[in-house]
Amino acid sequence: MPKVTYVTPSGDEVVVNSDEPNLMQAAVTNQVEGILGDCGGVASCATCHVHIDPQWIDKVGPATDIEQGMLELEDNATDNSRLGCQVKLTPELDGLVVRVVGQ
């Protein structure tokens, strides 16, 4: 079960150990502030926008073209932006740190 730290928009650090399939679902199940997951994880709502900690970006990988299409129009998007629902939680991501963008 990978451990993930979410830094919420209000600055809290929420640590989650989850066997959910992706970063969005792990956050929603644990009621992490600022991640809503409105569309259920199909990349159509952007309510799961996170910034991957720079130290982790190589392991997590860049946004896909479909995510890019959404993210290029999001306020607060950076090179480290991802849609949480499109980031699979694999054992290699144990220890991952992400910042929740929120609305």
Partner 1 sequence: MPEHIDPFREDRQQSGVKTATAEGKEVPLVLRLQDIRKTCKDTKTFSNDNPMMIVLHSEAHVRNVRQLPIETDPPEHTDYRALVEPIYRKPQQPEYQAEMRKLVAGMVKNAAANGEVEVVREFAVPLQSRGLAQLLGLPQSEAEIWIGWGVHIFRDAQLGSKGSEVDKYIFSKYEEMQGSDGDDFFSILNRIDFRDRKLTMEEKHGYANMAFAGGRDTVINTISSILVYLAEHPEAIEFLREDEMHITTATEEFVRYVSPVTIISRTCPHATEVLGHQVEAGERIGLCWPSANRDETIFDNPDEVVLDRAPNPHVGFGFGAHNCLGQHQARLIVRSLLHEVCDQLDKIEFIEAVPEIEEESSYSRQVGYKSARIKFVS
Strands (E), 1-103: 3-7, 13-17, 49-52, 81-83, 96-100
Q: Among 6, 35, 60, 86, which residue sits at the site for partner 1 (rule: CB under 8 A)? A: 86
- Quote the least distance from Cβ 94 to ligand FES, whole Å: 22
81 binds partner 1, rule: CB under 8 A: no
43 binds partner 1, rule: CB under 8 A: yes
> What gap in Å lies between CA 65 and CA 91, rounded to an integer?
24
| Residue whose CB is less far from ligand FES, 7 or 71 | 71
